[in-house]
Structure 1
Amino acid sequence: MSSGEVEFSVPNAGKPCKTWYQVIGDLQSKSRPLVALHGGPGASHEYLITLSTLNRSYDIPVILYDQLGNGKSTHLPEKAGDVAFWTVDLFLRELDNLLSHLGINGDYDLLGHSWGGMLAACHAVRQPSGLKRLIIASSPASMELWVSAQSVLRSKLDPGIQDILTKHEEAGTTESKEYEDAVEVFYKRFLCTMDPWPESLVATMNSTKEDPTVYLTMNGPNEFYITGSLRTWSVVRDLDRINVPTLLTNGRFDEAQDSTMLPFFQRIPKVKWVTLEKSSHTAHQEEQERYIEVLHQFLTV
């Protein structure tokens, strides 16, 4: 396991930027490396560390990294609310920069979880020659579909919790403790059902809380109240351009309900879909052994 930083040129950042990354395994091995894109936007890599089992068990190199604005990469809190700066294209360029730096841009697989899957899909529609296999994990094909699914899930909460959420959203007081406590009820049903949550997931959630610049700008206060620049995002019309074998995964109780992922299945030419029956949004942690085996079979067959 090794880690490092790569300089990332962002002319309008106002300061030098770097992307922190971690390589688990040997990039010179005979196995194609898997690059993992974390969620958020504005989260960090820690909760994806379970993917390192692919290296320990099957010798597949795994690359994790913190996207710009969070974790161990360069933070830019002065860019809070700057929707012209925090764009999908910015993070696509960051990914390309990392692939080139590591010398794997000619041969790699890509996994994206949640927002990371949205980013991975946008990367794949550009048909990069080095991308061989794609995994979209618990990600929506459009934010419209995501918001609709969250509304359905939210309606399953206790009416009192729903009232608290609505009250604070209408009053603009989503930073209140009462609201945050109500959000946590939603998260424990649809984000991660493990009790207690894994330390790695807690670390990622804390990272976003410590610097919510990217999350608030692009997404909003939480997973179901979308007020940021991604609220109109969609990749649906471009999905038929993805020309590599693609695996879709989600959990039965996932925020990424089947309805949010269906366009991937309908429009990507070479696609397989696996739903983890005992999981919510973090199937790679809730059903780790089963999830890793699913990935291994897809990546090596």
Structure 2
Amino acid sequence: MSTSTAATLPFRDGHTWYQVTTPDEPRPGALPLVVLHGGPGMAHDYLRNLAALADETGRTVVHYDQFGCGRSSHRPDAPVETWVPQLFVDEFEAVVVHLGLERFHVLGQSWGGMLGAEIAVREPAGLASLAICNSPASMQLWVDGAAELRAQLPADVQEALLRHEGAGTTGDPEYLAATQVFYERHVCRVVPMPRDFVDSEEQMEAEPTVYHTMNGPNEFHVIGTMRDWTIVGRLPSVTAPTLVVAGEHDEATPATWQPFVDGIDGAVSHVFPGASHCTHLEQPEEFRRVVAGFFADHDA
């Protein structure tokens, strides 16, 4: 069995929590994997099962909680302008340097895939490959896709969402119940939600600074600092081999992630039938099989 060790490293005026899962039987040539969680602000908990890649592939797996959430330092009073992608690019670089990773793979899920793309366009020397999972290439594409999916919800659910968004009462139980209908269709189709997902959600709700500031109150009402974010025009700068994955029923609709495939030279894609946004929770073994095969192809 693999061994997991947790610690912290200094970052900005606080610390970043990380966990390193080391296989008992390392495979020669298998490069470490750094996992980037979503949200922004959801912490790593819902991606815990990716630590199984250590035993399954013989490679070290690194998780960490991004600054402002989970077990890392929280800054609820930080100015709004603190919460921008460059903060998290800098943090990723700090993690890599602290752990002495000379060459590595990166897997980012949802916001983590957006962050992975932000890292990759900067062409870091150690990046062996990138897996962008369930992620949009721009927030406008994300919002447009969410609108299409919302239009397919039952009429009473749509009405409740619109009424409470217009009134600014997105904390109302009726609104939260309506969002759950969307979540169970397009975020995670495992009902009830897996414990790992609930753990991430609960810590975010307890201190939602990062999520609410960068995104908004939920997955499809985006009013935060990331509202105008796009990386589409910068994608030709990505030179690392790239895999783009999504679920058939993903809130990241095909139009949101196709720019990654079109804009990154040699990028390949894989869609998981029957899955949604949290593909790795819905089809964990198959998800890990697909990404593990890609990483193995690019270990050399």
Which of residues 256, 261, 285 is equivalent to 1:260?
256
In structure 1, stretches of 5+ residues that fail to align are 10-15
Q: For 1:286 and 1:278, how far apart are their aligned partners in 2? A: 9
Amino acid corresponding to residue 51 of structure 2 in structure 1: S
Aligned to 1:75: 74
Is residue 2:212 matched to residue 1:216?
yes
Q: TM-score, normalised by structure 1?
A: 0.95
Q: Percent identity?
A: 41
Q: TM-score, normalised by structure 2?
A: 0.95
Aligned to 2:240: 244
Aligned to 1:124: 120
Q: Give the deviation of 1:193 after TM superposition.
A: 0.3
8 Å contact kept, 1:135–1:248: yes
SS state of the match for residue 137, structure 2?
Answer: coil
Structure 1 stretches of at least 4 aligned residues deviating more than 3 Å after TM superposition: 26-30
Q: Which stretch has the larger CA shift, 18-27 or 202-211?
A: 18-27
Q: Give the deviation of 1:195 after TM superposition.
A: 1.3
Q: For 1:109 and 1:28, how far apart are their aligned partners in 2? A: 19
Once the two structures are superposed, what CA deviation does each residue of 1:183-218 show, in whole Å capped at 9, x if it has no partner?
A: 111101100000121100110111110111011100
Once the two structures are superposed, what CA deviation does each residue of 1:229-268 show, in whole Å capped at 9, x if it has no partner?
A: 1000000001011001100010000010110001001010
Aligned to 1:201: 197
Q: For 1:286 and 1:26, how far apart are their aligned partners in 2? A: 24
Which of residues 8, 13, 22 is equivalent to 1:25?
22
Q: CA RMSD in A?
A: 1.2
Aligned to 2:55: 56
Aligned to 1:84: 81
8 Å contact kept, 2:107–2:130: yes
Aligned to 1:177: 173
Aligned to 1:273: 269
Which of residues 84, 94, 97 is equivalent to 2:91?
94
Amino acid corresponding to residue 188 of structure 1 in structure 2: E
8 Å contact kept, 1:244–1:270: no
Q: Give the deviation of 1:26 after TM superposition.
A: 5.3
Q: Which stretch has the larger CA shift, 39-48 or 52-61?
A: 52-61
Amino acid corresponding to residue 171 of structure 2 in structure 1: E
Q: For 2:187 and 2:120, how far apart are their aligned partners in 1? A: 26
Distance change in 2, residues 1:140/1:27 (3 Å): farther
